[in-house]
Amino acid sequence: MSNVAGHGPSGQGATTRAAIAEAASHLFAEHGYAGTSVRAIAAAVGIDPALVVRYFGSKERLFLETVRLPLPIAKAFDGPLESLGERIVEAMLSGNLPERLATMGALMRASDSDAVREKVREIGELTFIHPLRAQLAGPDADLRARLIGAQMNGLLIALGMDDDRLTHVERARLVAVYGRAVQALVDG
């Protein structure tokens, strides 16, 4: 933390770029895309707003380069197929859920842009569709994998809507009930 600042405004390009990316990542997750101004990012790093644009080309490209949606569901694919539905839901709710919801919200709210929508598709493709399709049998495997992805997005969005009726439900109940719905697509 102390290696970022300390020797005045005459720093190196590489570390400035990394500092911008670091600050942007946090601010985007916390305040969303529209809620985060280039000026705010620059202020957090202690540089001029124009530098941010100079390093990353535009606010949108900065967002696309720094946004990370950690979905630690890789390990959920190991295990018996008959309980895969529950394991997927369980994985979606574990780890840093608040940050995941915030990032998901930031992505959705910025999905005006074609590039952002492509990014969302890409994340779903890599984390859900490909691994799932490999495990599912039947001619509808690809479709079923995509629909499981839709279920997961729906769950994250519902939780991100701050609906107390849903966010206050015990995790185990959520896993059991929604897991059955996911399992219906796993089984085909």
CB 108 within 8 A of CB 156: no
Q: Can you give the binding site for its own copies, defined by CB under 8 A?
A: 32, 34-35, 105, 108-112, 117, 120-121, 140, 142-144, 146-147, 149-155, 157-158, 161-163, 165-166, 169, 173-174, 177-178, 180-185, 188
We find the least distance from the C-beta atom of residue 151 to its own copies, in angstroms, to be: 5
Q: Is 170 left (phi over 0), alpha (psi -120 to 50) or beta?
A: beta
- Which phi and psi angles does 133 have, rounded to 5°? -60, -30
Question: Within the chain, how many helices (H) and strands (E) appear?
Answer: 11, 0
Binding to DNA by CB under 7 A, coded x per residue (else -) over 52-71, reads -xx--xxxx-----------
Give the number of C-alpha atoms closer than 13 A to the C-alpha of residue 56, restricted to the C-beta side.
24
Binding residue for DNA, selected from 25, 36, 103, 151, defined by CB under 7 A:
36
Binding residue for DNA, selected from 23, 27, 47, 123, defined by CB under 7 A:
47
Tally the residues of the chain. 188
What residues line the site for DNA (CB under 7 A)?
1, 4-5, 9-14, 16, 36-40, 47-51, 53-54, 57-60
